[in-house]
Structure 1
Amino acid sequence: MPKYHDFDYLFAFSMIGAFVTSWGIGANDVANSFATSVSSKSLTFRQAMLAAAVCEFLGAVLVGARVASTIKNDIIDLDVFNGNAAVAMLGFTCAIIGSASWLTFATRNAMPVSTTHTTVGSVIGVGIAAAGTGAGVQWGWDGVASIFASWAIAPCVAGGFAAITFLFTKFVVLRSKNPVKIGLITAPFYFFAVGCILTAAVIVKGSPSLNLDDLPDTTLAPAIILTGVGVAGIAITFWLPYVYSKVVKGDYTLKWYHMFMGPLLWRRAAPADAVTADMAVPDYRVHDFDHLKEQANPVADRTDVEASATEPSGNSVSGSEKEISPADEPAAHPSQLAKVEADLARDSNDGVISGRPTPPKYRTFDGNPLEPWNLYTIFRYNALPWLWYQLSAGLRTDIHAVQAAGSAKEQLKLKQMHDVAEQYDNKVEHLFSFMQVMTACTMSFSHGAGDVSNSVGPLAAVYYVWSTSLFPSDKADVPVWILAFGGIGIVLGLGIQGWRLMSVLGNRLTMHSPSRGFSMEFGASITVVVAALLGLPVSSTQSITGATLAVSLCEGNIRSFNWRMLGWIFFSWVLTLPIAGLISGCLFAIILNAPSWFTPPPVL
């Protein structure tokens, strides 16, 4: 039972703020990570949501505790709170609120920021407000310096791993005389490598309750290798005959569950027209923006939109409600939600649908909005449809259409950038789509292990003080339910608001394909997993950005990358640390030094 009942409200604010922070991590960081898989068409947005729900949650619960402890204890010196548990609780609550505020603003404005930057900046702001720049913050290598170094090192390391992976894939597989054959032969080795990385995260990092990281190296190394061999064996047994039937036999009748037939697929006869049919393998080409735009804007949709734009927003309804004409009834109140959603659903340049589902047709009303019949109209026909649209529209958004939207000038620039990239055999790209799904899950797992601490680390400190009334110590355990709480927030944030970040990333940075996306995610996942094993909270945002840039430069042409977008991303990173610190530091200083009933009057 909690002993600090006087500060129940601080714990409540911390819970709300931590959930909003986790929401922002899902909508910002996780969306940034999965933008690669969705942009290359290896995963749909809904499939990415499902993968994140499983992998982020498991990563947070199984291996997230140690990084949470690092980010809680190594940023500021706990002595700045002078042993006062209540002040420490207030400080970490302000840090949570500062993180939540900046992440909410950044996500709403499609700014791909680092949640590691956000939390570190918030905690630094509290430390400076408590004891100044010299005493409050641990600037040395045991604190902030190591995190600053990881921000610089992580993109370079991830870019190096990604470039090596893609160059090997490019010259050994993609440009070979028989790329499909070479791809099928080398695929088990890719599965082995990814399996080893994921196993290293689970075993070496270990669950805190199992103490797996205490096992000797002579046990860990064989376990990692044998698990990788097992993953490769499963791929050979089930995945290889399945994908062979698709890309070689052209069997377009295969469904995903046929993969469980395993070796029986080697003898499965393909349809008679499978030799000429091109339906077995999806088309992974995403560079034709005119085609994507036409798909996203069928004539029927444009007709409906034009009709809805010309008709009154109240629309014709039956019963006692009448159609309202703004010209005839100047006192009518058009729904403000209609204007907001119209801005979201339409491209700002040419006014066409840009991949977002059509918003509800909100109703207008006569007279005072507080009248009972108008309150019913507002609630039933405006508020509830608006809420459902906000909760569900993300999963119904066409990410590719949103990425391809824009003015004719913008689309021309994107098309020119994509034309620089080399196109490879679509069947070979299909092979790498399966591998990219696995690397995406690895990245998601490692992200849950590392970045969940950004929301639950300070919350763990608040919970410890609230539940024990003791000053937090360096060895305070992070309860599993807190890790699960953060994991749930991450998943919901991705599903509801993740489309915002994906709309400005992915194919708007450089052309994505399964082979490129696999290399990007594999390089970034290695970097983040290794950092999680070391207890170092690196930025997955910067890791995937560095990997994306490195793979695009492997084309041998600097025009293959959107440098203007990179400048916007870098500008977002620069703003994050000081703004998050100012919010949390000012809030902490104002509350801590605010006058109270017990403040003595000034001596004249």
Structure 2
Amino acid sequence: MVMSQFDYVFAIGTCFALLDAYNNGANDVANSWATSVSSRSISYRWAMLCALVFEFLGAVTVGARTASTIKDGIIPLTAFHGNAGVQMLAFTCALAGASSWVMFCSKNSVHVSSSYSLISAIAGVGVAVVGADQVQWGWNGGKGLGAIFAGLGMAPVISGGFGAIIFMMIKLGVHIRKSPVKWAIYTSPFFFFVAATVCTLSVVYKGSPNLGLSDKPVWYILTVTFACGGGVGALAAIFFVPFLWVRVVRKDAAVRFYMLPMGPLLLKRPVPVESEVPTVPDYAVIQKEDLLFDDDSTASPKLHDQGDAPGVLSKQPVVDEKNASIDSEGTQKSYKELQAEARKRFHARLYQRRGPLGWAMRFLRDNPMHDGEFYELKNLKTAVIRLPALLTVALLYGVNYDIHSAQTGIAGTPEGRRMERVYAQAEKYSNEVEHTYSFVQILTACTASFAHGANDIGNSVGPWAVIYATWKTGVAVDKKATVPVWQLAVLALTLCAGLATYGYNIMKVMGNKITYHSPSRGCSMELGAAITVLIFSQYHLPTSTSMCITGATVGVGLCNGKIRAVNWQRVGLLLTGWIFTIPIAGTLAGCLMGLVINAPHF
């Protein structure tokens, strides 16, 4: 079977669509779950499982609507004048430019918006193919670049407002009251109700066009939405409140999560004898651990308690003005040397694992590459032998990464001291209260993940839908081209794979790198971001989930009442990355399209 030019372009376009979805998962999805992992409400492994479920559901049931904006809202499909080949090539180059930029940024732990990367790339391709006058620079009924880029300023502010309002409700209604633990338990069904209502509203009101749910009357939408939210809130009151009361107030360490279905029967358990075993985890941002990872996949020096500030960074080792550490023997060590030593300690722990990752790490250690060039025969043989171990490490390294510890920085370095100052500006609340909101945060994180799947799946599936429809029919598609559900499903799975295997690289620089995190703060951030994303998605505006969660994080951080409670250096770096994404991604895609379409051909 001879492949035509259409077949080649379709194959390449499909690869870049999958790569773009993978990068989206490693970048934006990782950012969405960084808040939950930073607050210690959920482990990285459970976060990946929840993300897989809810990203998939959000993409399949809701994602088709935002795909239409990426597909035909920036470059009018009529501008191609029915040239199917040029249309396929244009969207393929857009995916190539956007995915290349996001991959470069993810590799260097620079967080950018995959949404705006693709939007900018499509605009750049449009300039190269049909001219700047054909690109929809204005509002274009809410689908043009003017409307989309307006979200660059609006989304973080709106999300920050929502997050601040929700956290202030918790702060005024729970944290500063005389009995915060009891009030946290009493009000927890309300937050379950809010999170469930937001998620249900997105499914019913914005449901997949094939379901026809958005055509229902308003009374039907409101009834179903509040009924589902009220049902979840009622279940929380019946089963979750008794569980929390026994575990937190009575301090019954024997109560486990699987006992939740017992509900009120748990209240009949005999009051336990006081035990030294803690019934709730310690949610302090910095824990007392033997080995903590630094900002470069490594481990940092030990942390110690200091006076009445438990868990703050140790003053040792000391760093002088030239960013060098002085060890116990008086030898100066640079920041890079500290990172290298910490990386060795981290890998030493992995060598001791019994599972596949431990085997792979030991195999790579015991079978290093030989001296000389890579193409020498002995190195080629070694590379082939090392390949299975390399693949194993690529798949499992991120699953075993300690995200929480990586966000604190190396003790004593400028970064570590900066984060210590930021954390000192935030008021710390009791672990019993925070434990209550750790369960709520898991639900809000799932809601945020659902919202992300609904909104950001359009980044990859929009161009891919055009490429697929053009390849299948042989003619340029019009505005009525639909997005197959199987495409949404495939890219949703690819998106989750990006989170599982490479998301740690972005997650380690988010969350606690911006401000102090805790479960009560985290659920406010995630719920505020989820509401904002769903509102923008309803109006067909592919906003950036990373911008929303960042804005909500800053908004909640400012609720501490101190401007220094936010790491403005990190916020400035994020803002710089967002701004530079627009010209760089657009130029990459535009130049690539210009080179390909004007290349000599026979």
The TM-score, its normalising length taken from structure 2, stands at 0.86
The match for 2:401 is 397
Letter in 2 for 1:474: K
The match for 1:573 is 578
CA gap of 1:377–1:170, structure 2 versus 1, over 3 A, is same
Deviations 1:393-446 (CA, angstroms, capped at 9, x unpaired): 100001122112325132122112101100111101001111111100000001
1:448 equivalenced with 2:444 (yes/no): no
The match for 2:67 is 68
CA gap of 1:241–1:3, structure 2 versus 1, over 3 A, is farther
Question: How far, CA to CA, are the matches of 2:218 and 2:293 in structure 1?
Answer: 54
CA gap of 1:536–1:364, structure 2 versus 1, over 3 A, is closer
1:156 equivalenced with 2:160 (yes/no): no
Q: Do 1:456 and 1:486's aligned partners in 2 also have CA atoms closer than 8 Å?
A: yes
1:78-477 to 2 correspondences below 5 Å: 78-142=77-141, 143-273=144-274, 276-287=275-286, 291-292=288-289, 294=291, 348=339, 351-352=342-343, 358=350, 359-360=361-362, 361-364=365-368, 375-380=380-385, 382-406=386-410, 408=412, 409-477=414-482
Question: How far, CA to CA, are the matches of 1:78 and 1:494 in structure 2?
Answer: 33
The match for 2:14 is 15
The match for 1:317 is none
Q: Do 2:286 and 2:405's aligned partners in 1 also have CA atoms closer than 8 Å?
A: no
Deviations 1:58-112 (CA, angstroms, capped at 9, x unpaired): 1000100010011111011223212211111111111111111111111111111
Q: Do 1:296 and 1:354's aligned partners in 2 also have CA atoms closer than 8 Å?
A: no
Letter in 1 for 2:505: R
- Point out the more displaced range, 222-231 or 137-146: 137-146
- Point out the more displaced range, 246-255 or 28-37: 246-255
CA gap of 1:248–1:93, structure 2 versus 1, over 3 A, is same
Question: How far, CA to CA, are the matches of 2:2 and 2:158 in structure 1?
Answer: 46
CA gap of 1:179–1:459, structure 2 versus 1, over 3 A, is same
Letter in 1 for 2:107: R
Q: Do 1:3 and 1:466's aligned partners in 2 also have CA atoms closer than 8 Å?
A: no
Give the drift of 1:137: 3.4
Unmatched tracts of structure 1, length 5 or more = 303-344, 598-604
Question: How far, CA to CA, are the matches of 2:97 and 2:262 in structure 1?
Answer: 52
1:50 equivalenced with 2:34 (yes/no): no
Question: How far, CA to CA, are the matches of 1:237 and 1:116 in structure 2?
Answer: 41
Give the drift of 1:264: 2.0
Deviations 1:452-490 (CA, angstroms, capped at 9, x unpaired): 110111000101101111221112110001101110111
- Point out the more displaced range, 240-249 or 515-524: 240-249
The match for 1:482 is 487
Q: Secondary structure at the match of 1:470?
A: coil
Give the drift of 1:237: 2.0
Letter in 1 for 2:595: I
Question: How far, CA to CA, are the matches of 1:272 and 1:177 in structure 2?
Answer: 25
Question: How far, CA to CA, are the matches of 1:374 and 1:518 in structure 2?
Answer: 50
Question: How far, CA to CA, are the matches of 2:344 and 2:46 in structure 1?
Answer: 23
Q: Which among 552, 567, 572 is matched to residue 557 of structure 2?
A: 552
Which of 1 and 2 has greater Rg? 1
Question: How far, CA to CA, are the matches of 1:145 and 1:280 in structure 2?
Answer: 52
Q: Do 2:21 and 2:491's aligned partners in 1 also have CA atoms closer than 8 Å?
A: yes
- Point out the more displaced range, 19-28 or 366-375: 366-375
Deviations 1:486-545 (CA, angstroms, capped at 9, x unpaired): 101110000111111111111111110001101111111110111222222111111111
Q: Do 2:74 and 2:135's aligned partners in 1 also have CA atoms closer than 8 Å?
A: no
Over the aligned positions, Cα root-mean-square deviation in angstroms equals 2.5
The match for 1:590 is 595
Letter in 2 for 1:9: Y
Unmatched tracts of structure 2, length 5 or more = 300-335, 351-360
Q: Do 1:76 and 1:124's aligned partners in 2 also have CA atoms closer than 8 Å?
A: yes
Q: Do 1:74 and 1:138's aligned partners in 2 also have CA atoms closer than 8 Å?
A: no
Give the drift of 1:158: 0.6
CA gap of 1:130–1:422, structure 2 versus 1, over 3 A, is same
Question: How far, CA to CA, are the matches of 2:86 and 2:376 in structure 1?
Answer: 47
Q: Do 2:240 and 2:260's aligned partners in 1 also have CA atoms closer than 8 Å?
A: yes
Question: How far, CA to CA, are the matches of 1:82 and 1:589 in structure 2?
Answer: 18
Letter in 2 for 1:103: V
Question: How far, CA to CA, are the matches of 2:220 and 2:381 in structure 1?
Answer: 66
Give the drift of 1:292: 4.5
Q: Which among 533, 537, 540 is matched to residue 542 of structure 2?
A: 537
Question: How far, CA to CA, are the matches of 1:171 and 1:347 in structure 2?
Answer: 43
Letter in 1 for 2:518: S
1:496 equivalenced with 2:501 (yes/no): yes
Give the drift of 1:278: 4.5
The number of equivalent residue pairs is: 549
